[in-house]
């Protein structure tokens, strides 16, 4: 806001006219203020009137604009006169308000809300719009502690319950360029972590975000380094061939999956480009684990075979090979059972080893269909 005084010899001679120009006031409000300023000048002839003019403006504004958080700047005389867009005028008003607040802040001393020491404004930092004040030493210690603990959250006001974020330049001035780059990287990782269609490039020298498309199924290509990889196992893309995980990675993933709640599983899913992809990986690992524990590979074609019963002489349904379930040796098709008759063989006399005996063979449960007839004839002679 500007107060125009049209008299070069003021205050020796009272101004003949005094008015204001303001970026955000309406035409009606400016007209009312100028009329009141003219009355003040005429009522105080021969006296300094600038103080009275400023007080008059403050009184009128406080009465007419009780809530300065909402202003209509579309039809202000200043915007029309200077042919400005509303957004440009809004930036000017915001910048002017910030400069005014900073001017008043720099003129005082303040008690830090952490260390409670009284320090000058140059030694302090005021967060806006919450207006909490802390000394720069305490703010720096707080910021560095967050970065040291790798906490993923914006740097801002130290006050409990405050959500005010520190401006970019303030953070840069306090923590330095190196730590600021690390801080930006942490924020980027946080933003990417909540995106289901973005995964990091698995190459250690890259680690750039890669967009996952449903059209390309499990294939993702890094736009930075050009590496094409599977979004399930994060190895080079292998087409229709199944994913290959290290045993340690499988164990870690399943252990984390089993102990995770719904929220943690959602966070895990983002790394794999969505819950569907993660579920595929978990199911594949669990299926593979079940197969490993309940089947054995054919010694000739390596296809997995499950033994559900019978003797230890097995025959592969794929390659027709006969082999021993105990030692995996391929057996002679002409005499496969001879393997179990060799005295110098570890499998000797073990053809039926592992077969569970049935309780049906117990005498108490064994029923002879014609037993009653024998009981009836037990008193007579029976010749065989």
Domain coordinates in residue numbering, the chain: 2-105, 109-193, 198-294, 306-356
State the Cα–Cα distance between residues 293 and 146, nearest whole angstrom.
46
Distance of CA 30 to the CA centre of its chain: 51
State the Cα–Cα distance between residues 47 and 13, nearest whole angstrom.
8
Positions in the chain whose pLDDT score sits under 70: 1-19, 21, 23-24, 26, 45-46, 63-82, 84, 86-87, 89-90, 152, 193-194, 196, 217, 242, 270-274, 356-384
Do 93 and 24 touch, CB atoms closer than 8 A? yes
- Looking at residue 15, its pLDDT comes to 53
Query: Which architecture does CATH list for 198-294?
Result: Single Sheet (2.20)
State the Cα–Cα distance between residues 110 and 121, nearest whole angstrom.
7
- Looking at residue 366, its pLDDT comes to 41
CB atoms within 10 A of CB 104: 10
- Looking at residue 140, its pLDDT comes to 92
The structure's pTM equals 0.42
State the Cα–Cα distance between residues 345 and 353, nearest whole angstrom.
14
Q: If you ran DSSP here, which 8-state letter would residue 363 be given? A: G
Helix axes 262-271, 247-259, angle to 10 degrees: 150
- Looking at residue 273, its pLDDT comes to 63
| Per-position DSSP letters for 15-57, written without gaps between them | -S-EEEE-SSS-HHHHHHHHHHHHHHHHHTTTS--HHHHHHHH
- Looking at residue 138, its pLDDT comes to 93
Class of domain 109-193: alpha beta
- Looking at residue 139, its pLDDT comes to 92
């Amino acid at each position: 806001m500007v107060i125009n005084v049209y008299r070069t010899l003021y205050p020796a001679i009272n101004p003949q006219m005094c008015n204001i120009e303001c970026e955000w006031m309406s035409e009606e409000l400016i007209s009312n203020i100028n009329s009141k300023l003219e009355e003040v000048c005429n009522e105080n002839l021969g006296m300094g009137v600038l103080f009275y003019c400023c007080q008059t403006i403050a009184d009128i504004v406080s009465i007419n604009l009780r809530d300065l958080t909402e202003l209509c700047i579309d039809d202000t005389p200043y915007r029309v006169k200077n042919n400005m867009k509303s957004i440009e005028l809004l930036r000017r008003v915001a910048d002017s308000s910030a400069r005014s607040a900073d001017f008043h802040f720099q003129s005082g001393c303040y008690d830090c809300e952490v260390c409670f020491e009284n320090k000058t404004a140059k030694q302090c930092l005021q967060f806006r719009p919450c207006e909490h004040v802390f000394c720069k030493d305490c703010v720096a210690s707080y910021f560095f502690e967050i970065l040291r603990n790798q906490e993923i959250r914006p740097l801002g006001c130290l006050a409990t319950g405050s959500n005010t974020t520190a401006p970019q330049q303030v953070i840069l001035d306090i923590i330095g360029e190196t730590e600021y780059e690390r801080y930006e990287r942490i924020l980027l990782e946080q933003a990417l972590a909540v995106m289901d269609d973005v995964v990091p490039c698995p190459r250690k020298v890259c680690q750039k975000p890669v967009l996952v498309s449903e059209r390309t199924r499990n294939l993702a290509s890094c736009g930075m380094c050009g590496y094409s990889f599977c979004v399930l196992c994060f190895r080079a893309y292998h087409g229709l061939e199944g994913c290959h995980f290290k045993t340690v990675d499988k164990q870690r993933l399943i252990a984390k999956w089993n102990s995770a709640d719904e929220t943690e599983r959602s966070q895990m899913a983002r790394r794999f480009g969505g819950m569907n992809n993660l579920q595929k990986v978990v199911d594949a690992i669990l299926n593979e684990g079940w197969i490993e524990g309940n089947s054995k590979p054919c010694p000739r074609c390596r296809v997995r075979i499950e033994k559900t019963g019978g003797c230890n002489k097995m025959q592969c349904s794929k390659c027709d090979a006969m082999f021993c379930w105990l030692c995996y040796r391929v057996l002679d098709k002409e005499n496969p059972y001879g393997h179990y008759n060799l005295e110098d063989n570890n499998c000797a006399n073990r053809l039926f080893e592992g077969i569970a005996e049935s309780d049906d063979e117990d005498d108490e449960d064994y029923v002879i269909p014609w037993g009653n007839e024998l009981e009836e004839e037990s008193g007579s002679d029976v010749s065989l």
